Chain A
């Protein structure tokens, strides 16, 4: 009996071991990608050093949607053509936006081999902290790549190291409905003199509550709560590392945003916005809003007349300024990094460089490069002007609002310790104030205390 039990136990354990290990093993089949090709048969990733004659297959992390877009295919083809010995292969990760980043993180942590990653100014720092992307300084210095003259102020460093080469920028602009401006007999925004005071005045004139027409439209994203403070470059951290939300500039910004809906009634109040779950694109889908301050990506969306058919004309101007003549616009850079799991870091760096240098040549991309000629800049906006031909928007107008060298780009997102938590705190605490459930003083006190706690927690994290 004992022998039977022992045998059964051994068998049971054996089956379990096989079952448990079956799904956990490393796939020993040669990978069809991620390695060196150009020889009769592509070899397994990293099994053979690359030389100039061989084509290196690099894994480019993309969402399924991005991978299927023609613009992505065109960009990959441009890079392959420029480098000659590199082939970019989509490494498809499910999900979009935040979900995509989470899954990419898990994949990198699990050691999945990738070479080239898309990043932006808020995501790359997290990846850098976790050593999931490579610092590029040595490679840059090694070939004497003149990044300062190519990218200028678009370039950012983290812990004094360069982890991302910027490829494109997105800056806030004022999109406006020319028909509503004309009906209210209000002059269009002038890029040279456009301010928040003028924005409010214009919004008051345009607003016709009885007709459901508002002069302004804004969203509930965190950056709207602190618009002016960020434009004024008020630091969000004190020198001692704690948060700076007790600076009156932040309270003023929050009040300004809430007042637009609650007091001035020039845009839907926050309760209406939340209660009706108003969409981001209400400005484009209706004829009811005079102005919409938003990233220039929305201008590109407006070019899609199938999704956003309009019988009114739109204009684009610089983001309103705190002081007349100012040029501070909120923005964010997008770019590319080399994954720490890459087995072809040099080739991946070359691909990152090519992506950053060339992406602007495809329609709809606003370059992060600062070394382009006037002719090249005009060529960027020409397709946009053609796409918005019915609106009568000129290249000069777009250039002044989006890509003028005089623009002073301030980060639209908080970057620093505890930034994820603080970003959601700004929205959640701001929401209670904007719905009149908290006083301004209470809101700023709560925001300061909770932000300090978030910073401390983040700094004590591994």
Chain B
């Protein structure tokens, strides 16, 4: 029978429409559902710590509040949300880059401070019994690899492999054709694999490709 959905049962799109109509509770629900994911995306995209990423997250959700009337309910909400988040991150990175260029004299402490220091990775690989420690190291290496990815590969890779969005949605978010998205994803994987090989995590072999 007909029954009004409760706030918790409502889809993201329905919640957003309710929020447009003045239901602030639905905004809390959206924040609860997507806040963590967006925060993770920002952290990996920008490569900042949680506290600084939260500032960006706050700015992203402020944009969601301000632009709520621009949201079209026929559009997937996650697409709209991640578009805002991605664009905000790219803007931030551009500004950062601009600032870095403006102060070329200043030492690039950013990577030195935040990047995980890979200490003798091959050595550590030899200690197989310390699997947990290795796992942590690989994780750190992976994060490093992601940070090193090119910007246009990084967002596609993160949206697909971390946030789990479908490729079509990613194409919409990045405003690129689906084939481009696929090739960017492939390049992202190739770069990561190369990095792992470089660090001795994957075996370096003579890869004979059939032509």
A binds B: no
Which A residues lie at the B interface, using CB under 8 A? none
